[in-house]
């Protein structure tokens, strides 16, 4: 069975939810508090070898960057991420404690794949 996984190019973003327009009525969130973003997604073929994806900073961290290496195999997909110039998450508020790598499946489900641990140099 051929499966692919799509990685959000904006994986360096701080757990920001990109809510669909219909989510406002479901969550009763004021429109002024909604954040929407558009990102490109990449599909990976099973056993198609590894693919490197450049990670670029966002408006919140323009100097941040890195690279992800994605390898999709039958039954598992591995993602190796190297980042640079990450500021401590608490820079954005005391409620931000970590960076998270998110994925989106071909059927549109999102998933928290893991925590991105950065040292004191932002790497």
Tell me the pLDDT of the chain (123 aa) as tens digits.
333 333 333 333 333 333 334 444 455 667 776 777 776 777 777 888 888 989 888 888 999 999 999 998 888 889 999 999 999 998 889 998 999 988 888 788 889 999 998 888 889
How many residues are there in the chain?
Answer: 123
In this prediction, residue 22 carries a pLDDT of: 40
Residue 25 falls inside a structural domain: yes
User: Domain total for the chain?
Assistant: 1
In this prediction, residue 29 carries a pLDDT of: 62
Residue 111 falls inside a structural domain: yes
pTM over 0.85: no
For 96, the domain range is 6-116
CA atoms within 13 A on the CB side of 107: 2
Residue 121 falls inside a structural domain: no
Residue 122 falls inside a structural domain: no
Rg for the chain, CA atoms, rounded: 16
In this prediction, residue 9 carries a pLDDT of: 32
Task: Kindly state the helix (H) or strand (E) to which residue 116 belongs, with its residue range.
Answer: strand 110-116
User: Closest Cα to residue 81, out of 45, 110, 52?
Assistant: 52
Residue ranges of the alpha helices (H) in the chain?
Answer: 23-27
Q: Is residue 49 packed enough to be buried (19+ CB in 10 Å), middle (13-18) or exposed (0-12)?
A: exposed
């Amino acid at each position: 069975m051929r499966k692919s996984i799509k990685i959000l190019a904006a994986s360096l973003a701080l757990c920001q939810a990109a809510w669909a327009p219909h989510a406002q009525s479901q969550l009763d969130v004021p429109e002024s508090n909604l954040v929407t973003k558009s990102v490109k997604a990449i599909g990976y073929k099973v056993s198609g070898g590894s693919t490197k994806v450049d990670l670029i900073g966002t408006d919140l961290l323009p100097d941040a960057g890195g690279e992800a290496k994605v390898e999709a195999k039958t039954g598992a997909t591995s993602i190796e991420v190297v980042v640079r110039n990450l500021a401590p998450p608490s820079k954005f508020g005391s409620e931000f404690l970590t960076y998270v790598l998110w994925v989106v499946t071909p059927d549109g489900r999102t998933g928290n794949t893991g925590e991105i641990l950065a040292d004191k140099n932002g790497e």
